[in-house]
Amino acid sequence: MRSPAQVIKQAHRLLAEMDVNGPPTPVVACVAHAKLSIEGRFSLGQLPPGEYRALIDDEVFHLAIEHTSGLLDRTNSRIYLKAGMVPGRRNFVTLHEVGHGWLPWQRLHPTHPDGEQNLDPDTRAREEWEANVFAAETLFQLDWFEREARDLPFELQSAMALANRFEASVHASLRRFVERHDQRAVLLVVERYPVVRPAGARHRVVAVHWSGPFRQRYRQWKKPRWLPTALFAPLRTKNVAVHFEGELPLDTGNEVVSMALQGFRNEHHILLLGRPRDGQRLPRRMARSIMHTR
């Protein structure tokens, strides 16, 4: 079992060998440095299964294509990428595949990309996690991102500016921005399209990320699982909203505090940056009226 530190050390080794000092990370050069190449003629999913030499049967092939944005064929050291990804996402996925080829203990596998049958599920899940850590560390250049984030106001716009500078997606940048920040904040990843119910339309919360200080302060926080569509009114006609009229009550078990929101909408998700207005308590019934925790 490898620790995150071992993966980070390998990300550091790649950046150091390539003399990378500051954003953006030269993703294409990283591919070459790891002695890999990107399949440029075809996108993932456009080749007949027989062309992916590492993928043995049709079933695995279709499973892999459905759930994967990238693939490393270890038999020819080639990376296949899904078509139509936004550049930030494409960079992340590319570096994820570089991770599979660069991490020494993964490189030793005789064959096989994601979709591999011979690996047991636990090993595969761990290798996916390692490749994601590697991709984030190389794309955001270890603590370089944090150092730049520290000098910027704690706002959605700062995370968007960093996404631009590091050529990363807003989603990945915002997550790192929140998780590494020394202020209390939470990032809610919400499905963009609502589920319509007799009681009204609501959006599913698919993931929650928080800063260390937030977790410390609000250990008892009841994470919302659904949010009402009305909350997202500022994003109805635009993709970025830095001011929300509505607010999200934060039920921490023994008190309810108000949380200021900023939001960003991409193809699949709404990303909500929430910062608690510490000291401002709300009546408990307000939490019940807005949050559906069942």
Rule CB under 5 A: say whether 235 interacts with Zn ion. Answer: no
**# chain residues binding Zn ion, by CB under 5 A:** 3
Radius of gyration (C-alpha) of the chain in whole angstroms: 21
Smallest separation (angstroms) from Zn ion to the CB of 140? 18
- The residue with its CB nearest to Zn ion is 114
Query: Any residues with CB less than 8 A from the CB of 111 and at least 6 apart, and which?
Result: 54, 74, 75, 118
Buried b (16+ CB within 10 A) or exposed e, 195-228: eeeeeeebbebeebbbbeebeebbeebeebebbb
| Shortest Cβ 33–Zn ion spacing (Å) | 19
Question: Which residues on adjacent β-strands are paired with residue 204?
Answer: 226
Per-residue x/- mask for Zn ion, residues 6 to 25, rule CB under 5 A? Answer: --------------------
| Least separation in angstroms between CB 48 and Zn ion | 22
Torsion angle in degrees (nearest 10) through CA of 140, 144, 148, 150: 110
Q: How far is the CB of 55 from Zn ion (least distance, A)?
A: 13
Token digits for 156? Answer: 């959605």
Site string for Zn ion, 91-120 (x = CB under 5 A): -----------------------x------
What span, in angstroms and rounded, lies between the C-alpha atoms of 114 and 97? 9
* Beta carbon nearer to Zn ion, 131 or 271: 131
3-state secondary structure of 115: coil
C-alpha separations of 264 from 40, 157, 254 in Å? 32, 10, 30
Which residue, 80 or 221, has its beta carbon nearer to Zn ion?
80
Instruction: Quote the CA–CA distance of 226 and 229 in Å, as a whole number.
Output: 9
Q: Which stretch binds Zn ion (CB under 5 A): 22-30, 129-137, 165-173, 203-211?
A: 129-137
| Cβ 68 to Zn ion shortest distance, Å | 7
For residue 129, the one-letter residue type is W
Nearest residue (CB) to Zn ion, 114 versus 247: 114
In terms of CB distance, is 126 or 192 closer to Zn ion? 126
Would you say 109 or 192 has its CB closer to Zn ion?
109
Q: What whole-number distance in Å separates Cα of residue 195 and Cα of residue 65?
A: 27
Site for Zn ion in 28-57 (CB under 5 A): none
Which residue, 172 or 250, is less far from Zn ion as judged by CB? 172
Choice between 47 and 119, CB closer to Zn ion: 119
Respond yes or no on whether the N-terminal peptide bond of residue 234 is cis (omega within 30° of 0).
no
Q: Which of 31, 55, 131, 162 binds Zn ion (CB under 5 A)?
A: 131
Binding site for Zn ion (CB under 5 A): 114, 128, 131
